[in-house]
Structures are given as structure tokens and as C-alpha cells.
Structure 1
Amino acid sequence: MAILITGISELVTCDETLEGADQSQRLGILRDAAVVVGAEFEDSPTTIRWIGPAVSAPEADWSFDLGGQTLLPGFVDSHSHLVYAGDRSAEFAARMTGEGYDGGGIATTVEATRDASDGELRSLLTARIDEMRSQGTTTVEIKSGYGLEVEEEVRHLRLAHEVTEETTFLGGHVVPPEWRHDRAGYVDLVAGEMMDAAAPYARWVDVFCEPNSPHAFTGEEARAILEAGQDAGLGLRVHGNQLGHGPGVQLAVELGAASVDHCTFLSDADVEALSGSDTVATLLPGVEFSTRSPYPDARALIDAGVTVALATDCNPGTCNSSSMPLMIALAVREMGMTPAEAVRAATVVAAQSLRREDIGVVRVGTRADLAVVSAPSYLHIPYRIGVPIVKTLQV
């Protein structure tokens, strides 16, 4: 069945190849536009079938009018930790009074999540996915990392795989308390038995490479985990340079990781390495907001030729927000990005960080993962900060 969407005041395609579109901000904007979507088969994904001026729209089986709203690709949240139980609001309150963050609170979530049943975790996960979709997110990457035992990591990845194909094995999140006196043994476990058990449920492997934290992993420990992930056929992602300068970015680029995330503390050499690579720098401004840390300098990264994406890092400790519109607003207000750059970073570039070409863009043949802005322009996303004007379009 073909569905015609009309009444689009501004269609933000994020397609730089679209002829006749306004490409002044690299957003491929069409005004007074229409879109036709449909599924080729009953169980196949709904895809974009036609894009163009509303006056030229073809007939369809059904149509509806957006009444002058903005249409854009659904947000791609390429970094989240949604399989968890428990609450760390007291930790947030403590940081607001000056307490620092070093990753130690993760153990609290590990304990609560291990104690939760499948049913409890599934219910919590479903609610978080619904919350994201209500704010325009249509694709989400979900990491494990709150199990840190073989059976628990597999259990969390299995639950995550029920709601997304973008699942990431993060056994290398922190060293759990029971392994604190045998770090090498835990690294061997993650890179060996745990990796073997988790790989069938994961597309990616990630590691928290942060020598500035006593709980996370050094460069060599991270390398061992990432190389084992490569050998298991997983793509690479890295938590890097969040708490201070370190080897995370350089390691990610050297190994060809799809994304290195956080990038709060970068040297000139780190920026140079990123600018000459295919590794995306995924910035997570909600973390800086929630930890009172300095924001990454997105402006400097973009000007240096680095590919920059945005994600929420939705998690119970350092950013308990599922709002991609908030991340866009923070990127514009605090990190020097233009609204257009931030929207691209949350859609087509975030898709690039997942090595996906079928999402994050409105183009004939791509998935009809769309979001609506209750406003005449995408500029209202950062302009109306905190107002729920973006939602997923159900087609």
C-alpha cells in the first residue's frame, strides 16, 4: 500500500545528492513537499518511494496532511545503555554539588541489573524505547555492560536484540568488584569466553578505554578486547577520552573503529588522526551537562575535517536522558555547532557511525523512518528547547 504524505512545509532530507533541493546547509531541503512511502511486501520495512514538490505528487492508496509541519529523518541514537535496573539519582544530585565522576557508580547499576528478572528488564527497556520514539528517535544502538558476567552479558544482549539490530557487547565497561585484584584475568575473560558467548547476539564490540579511571581499561587492555572482537567478526566502537587525555582515540583510528565516543579531551594529534580517518567522533553532550564536565569543542573538530555525530548516551549514571532534541540543543548552545550541523549529526552522520545507508536520510529506497516537527522549520528543534515538538511519524 502506498501512502502519500502532504502538507510538509519543510522536508529535511539530509540528502546532499538531491537535485533541486536547498543545499546551503547540506540538509537537502525541499519546501511545500510531499513524500510517498510504502512496503513492497506485507512483512517488509516501509520505504521511501517518491519525493518531490506537492503539486507533482502521484496518486496513492491513502494520504494524510501534516498541516504545515516539518518532516525529517528519524533520529539515530548511536550510543545508549538501556538494559538496566536501579536508580542513581542521588549520584546526579551529588555531582551537582561538586562531586566528581570516575566511573565507579557503574558497579551500583551492575548489582541492580543482575538482580532484575528478564520480565523486569524487558518492561523497563520497552518503556525507554517508547520514550525515545515519542521524541523522534527511530533507530537506537544498545550496549550491554551492566552484567559483566558471561551469562548476564548474554542475557542483556538477548533482550536488547529484541528491540534493535544495533546491539553492542560492552563486557569491557568496567572491571567488576570481584575481579579488582585480577584485572588481567577479567580482560582474558572478556576477550575469551565472554566474547564467544556474546558475539552471536551482538553486531559491535565496545570498551571503556580510560586510564584516568581506576575502574575502566588501559590502552593495552582495550586493544586486547577490541582485537578479540574483530576476530569474532564484530565491528568496533570505543569509549575514549572522556575523563582526560588518553589512548582511546588513537586506538580507535588505528583499528578502524566505526566510532569513538565522548572525545571530551583531545590533543592536536588526536584531532589530526580523526580528520584523516573514517572513524566518526560521536559526541555526547548530555554527559557533560549531567557531570558538569567541559563540553567537547565540536566547532574545532568540524573545522578540522572530523566527522561528528551526536547521541544521548542514555544511561542511569551520567546522562539519564533519552532526548535527541535536547542533544541537538546542547550541541548548538554549548559546542559551537550550527542547527543544521547538529541535525545532520543526529541523523545521517549518526547513521554513518553505524555504517548504515538505509536510515538517517530521506531518499528513494531508504527506510521510511521519519520524524515530524510541530513547527515550520527544523530550526525550532534547538530554538524551542525542552518543548516536546518532535515525534516519530507512524506510517
Structure 2
Amino acid sequence: MAILITGISELVTCDETLEGADQADRLGILHDAAVVVGAEFEDAPTTVQWVGAAADAPAADWSFDLGGQAVLPGFVDSHSHLVYAGDRSAEFAARMTGQPYDGGGIAVTMAATREASDPELRALLTARVDEMRSQGTTTVEIKSGYGLTLEEEVRALRLASEVTEETTFLGGHVVPPEFREDRGSYVDLVAGEMLQAAAPYARWIDVFCEPNSPHAFDGEEARRILLAGREAGLELRVHGNQLGHGPGVQLAVELGAASVDHCTYLSDADIDALAGSETVATLLPGVEFSTHSPYPDGRRLIDAGVEVAIATDCNPGTCNSSSMPLMIALAVREMGMTPAEAVRAATVVAARSLRRSDVGVVRVGARADLAVLSAPSYLHLPYRVGVPIAKTLQV
């Protein structure tokens, strides 16, 4: 069945090849637009079948009018940690009074998550994904990393795979307390038996490469984990350069990782490496907001030619927010990005960080994952910060 969507005041396609679209900000904007979506057969994904001016719209089986609202690709949240139990609001309150973050609070979440049952974790996970979708997010990447035993990491990925195809094995999140005096054995476990058990449930492998934290992994430990993951058939992502200068960015580029995330502390050499690579720099402004840390310099990265994405990093410790509209506003207000750059970072470039071309864009053949704004333009995303104007368009 084909469905015609009309009454679109501004259609942000993020398709730089779309004829007749305004490409001044690389957003591929059409005004007074329409979209036809549909599925080829029952149970097939709904895809975009036609895009253009409303006056030229073809006939369809059914239609509805949005009454002058703006439409854009559904947000792609390419970095989240949603499989967890417990609460760390007291840690947040402590940071607001000056306590620094060093990654140690992850052990608190680990203990609560290990104690939770499958039904409890599934209910929490489903509620968090629903919360994201209610704010316009249509694709979400979900990491493990709060179990840190073979059984718990597999459980987290199995549950995550029920709600997304973008699942990431993060056994290399931190060294759990029981291995604190024997880091080598934990690296052996992550790169060996744990990885082999987790790989069937994961598309990606990630590691928290952060020598500035006593809980995370140095460059050589991270390299070993990533290479083992690649050997097991997983694609690479990296947490890097969050708490200080370190090897994470250079390692990600060297190994051809799809994305290196955080990128708060970067040298000129790091930026040059990113600019000459296919590795996306994914910035997580909600973390800096929630930890009183310096924001990454998005303007510097973009001006250097680096592909920049943004994501929530939704997690219980350093950013308990699922709002991509908030991340867009923070990117504009605090990281020097224009509204157009922030929207691209939350859609088509975020999709690129997942090596996806079927989401984050409104073009014929792409998934019909659309977000609608109760506003006439995408400019209202950073302009009306904190107001719930974005939602997933149900078709």
C-alpha cells in the first residue's frame, strides 16, 4: 500500500543529489513538499517511493496532511548504553558540586545490572527505546558493557538485538573489580572466550581506550581487543580521547574504525588523521553537559574536513538523556556548529558512522524513517530547546 504524505512546509532530505532541492547547507530542502512511502509486500520494510513538490505528487492508496509541519529524516542515535539497571543520580549531583568523572561509577551500574532479571532489563530497555522514538529517533545503536562477565555480556547483547540491529559488544568498557589486580587476564577474557560468545549477537566491537582513567584500557590493550573483534567478523568503534589526550583517535583511524566517539581532547595530529580518513568523529555533548567537562570543538573539526556526527551516549552515569533534539541544541550552542551542521550530524553523518545509507536520509529506496516537527522549519530544533516538538512519524 502506498501512502501519500502532504502538507509538509519544509522537507529536509539530507540528499545532496536531489534535483530541485535547496542545497545551500547540504540539507537538500524542499518546500511545500510531499513524500510517498510504502512496502513492496506484507512484512517488508516501509521505504520511500517518491519525493518531490506537493503539486507533482502521484496518486496513492491513502493520504494524510501534516498541516504545514516540517519533516526530516528520523534521528540516528549512534552511541547509547541502554541495557542497564540501577540509578546514579547521586553521582550526577556530586559532579555538579565539582567531583570529577573518571569512569569508576560504571561498577555501580554493573552490580545493579547483574542482579536484574531478564524481564526487568527487557522492560527497562523497551521503555528507553520508546522514549527515544517519541522524540524522533528511529535508529539506535546499543552497547553492552554493564555486565562484564561472559554470561552478562551475552545477555545484554541478546536483549539489545530484540530492539535494534545495531548492537555493539563492549566487554572492554572498564576492568571489573574482580580483575582489578589482574588486568591482563580480563583482557584475555574479553579478546577470547567472551568475544566468541558475544559475536553472534553483535555487529560491532567497541573499547574504552582511555589511559587517563585507571578503570579503562590503554592503547595496546585496546588494540588487542579491537583486532580480536575484527578477526571474529565484527566492525570497529572506539571510545577515545574523552578524559584527556591519548591514543584512541589515532588507533581508530589506523584500524579503519567506522567511528571514534567523544573526541573531547584532540591534538592537531589527531584532527589531521581524522580529516584524511573515513572514520567519523562522533561527539557526545550531553556528556559534557552532565559532567561539567569542556565541550569538543565541533567547529574546528568541521573546518578541517572531518565528518562529524552527534549522539546521546544515553547511559546512567554521564548522560541520562535520550533526546537527540537536545544534542542538536547543545552542538549549536556549545560546539560551534550551525543548525544545519547539527541536523546533518544527527542524521546522515550519524548513519555514515554506522555505515548505513538506508537511514538518516529521505530518498527513494531509503527506509521511511521520518521525524515530524510541530514547527515550520528544522531551525526550531535548537531554537525551541527543551520543548518536545519532534516525534517519529508513524506511517
Deviations 1:87-123 (A, max 9, x none): 0000000000000000000000000000000000000
Deviation at 1:224, TM superposition (A): 0.4
1:61 matched residue in structure 2: 61
**Is the aligned partner of 1:365 residue 2:365?**
yes
- 1:186 alignment partner AA: Y
Matches within 5 A, 1:1-395: 1-395=1-395
Deviation at 1:281, TM superposition (A): 0.1
- 1:48 alignment partner AA: V
Give distance in 1, aligned partners of 2:338 and 2:19: 23
Give distance in 1, aligned partners of 2:54 and 2:303: 36
Deviations 1:162-194 (A, max 9, x none): 000000000000000000010000000000000
Q: Secondary structure at the match of 1:195?
A: helix
Deviation at 1:387, TM superposition (A): 0.1
Give distance in 1, aligned partners of 2:180 and 2:98: 27
Give distance in 2, aligned partners of 1:234 and 1:199: 7
Give distance in 2, aligned partners of 1:321 and 1:330: 12
Where does the alignment leave 5 or more consecutive residues of structure 1 unmatched? none
Q: Secondary structure at the match of 1:253?
A: helix
State the TM-score, normalizing by the size of structure 2: 1.00
- 1:330 alignment partner AA: L
Q: Secondary structure at the match of 1:281?
A: strand
Where does the alignment leave 5 or more consecutive residues of structure 2 unmatched? none
Q: Secondary structure at the match of 2:36?
A: strand
Q: Secondary structure at the match of 1:9?
A: strand
Runs of 4+ in 1 over 6 A off after TM superposition: none
- 1:211 alignment partner AA: P
Q: Secondary structure at the match of 2:251?
A: helix
Deviation at 1:306, TM superposition (A): 0.5
Deviation at 1:137, TM superposition (A): 0.1
Deviation at 1:237, TM superposition (A): 0.2
Deviation at 1:156, TM superposition (A): 0.4
- 1:140 alignment partner AA: V
Deviations 1:353-375 (A, max 9, x none): 00000000000000000000110
- 2:79 alignment partner AA: H
Deviation at 1:382, TM superposition (A): 0.4
Deviations 1:217-237 (A, max 9, x none): 000000000000000000000
- 1:90 alignment partner AA: A
- 1:353 alignment partner AA: S
Give distance in 2, aligned partners of 1:257 and 1:219: 14
Aligned pair count? 395
Give distance in 2, aligned partners of 1:115 and 1:338: 44
Deviation at 1:294, TM superposition (A): 0.1
Give distance in 2, aligned partners of 1:270 and 1:59: 52
- 1:72 alignment partner AA: L
Give distance in 2, aligned partners of 1:25 and 1:64: 29
CA RMSD of aligned residues (A): 0.3
Give distance in 2, aligned partners of 1:44 and 1:226: 34
Deviations 1:267-324 (A, max 9, x none): 0000000000000000000000000000000000000000000000000000000000
